[in-house]
């Protein structure tokens, strides 16, 4: 079976740049390698998110980084939409807390 094609939204370049040049390269390379294989697999570091306007799935890398992405199965395409740093219960993107991917429900 052919590999999946991995692309990134324009904003992802800025997300990565905010993490530093060396980290950005490591994160992007690791994300592409992992997502080219099987982005739909369910694993400890790869999961489906609750419905939200940003992304369908999340990839955890190196314990602290999160890559949020969407999958277009018919085209075998993975589109990375956000990259950030996990701190506690918060996702930090470009130095600020990012909540757009969180569930809207209040418990």
Taking only the tens place, the pLDDT of each residue in 39-53 is 999 999 999 999 999
pTM metric for this prediction:
0.91
Indicate left, alpha or beta for 16 from its phi (over 0: left) and psi (-120 to 50: alpha).
alpha
The per-residue pLDDT of the chain, averaged, comes to 93
State residue 42 phi and psi, 5-degree precision: -105, 120
Q: How far is CA 87 from CA 4, 41, 63, 77, 84, in A?
A: 30, 25, 10, 29, 10
Percent of the chain at pLDDT > 90 equals 90
- Domain boundaries along the sequence of the chain: 5-95
The answer to whether 83 and 27 are in contact (CB under 8 A) is: yes
Residue 100: pLDDT band with limits 50, 70, 90: confident
Q: Please check whether residue 40 is in contact with residue 48, taking contact to mean a CB–CB distance below 8 angstroms.
A: no
CA distances from 76 to 12, 16, 22 (A): 20, 24, 29
Fold of the CATH domain 5-95:
YaeB-like fold (3.30.2310)
Query: What does the pLDDT look like over 56-96, one tens digit per residue?
Result: 999 999 999 999 999 999 999 999 999 999 999 999 999 99
- SS3 for 44-98 is CCEEECCCCCCCCEEEEECCCEEEEEEEEHHHCEEEEEEEEEEECCEEEECCEEE
């Amino acid at each position: 079976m052919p590999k999946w094609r991995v692309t990134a939204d324009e904003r992802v370049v800025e997300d990565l740049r905010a993490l530093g040049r060396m980290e950005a390269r490591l994160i992007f390379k690791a994300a592409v390698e992992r997502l080219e294989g099987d982005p739909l697999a369910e694993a400890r570091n790869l999961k489906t998110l609750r419905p939200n306007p940003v992304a369908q799935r999340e990839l955890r890398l190196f314990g602290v980084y999160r890559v949020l992405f969407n999958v277009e199965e018919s085209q075998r395409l993975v589109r990375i939409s956000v990259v950030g740093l996990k701190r506690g219960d918060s996702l930090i993107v470009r130095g600020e807390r990012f909540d757009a991917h969180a569930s809207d429900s209040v418990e």
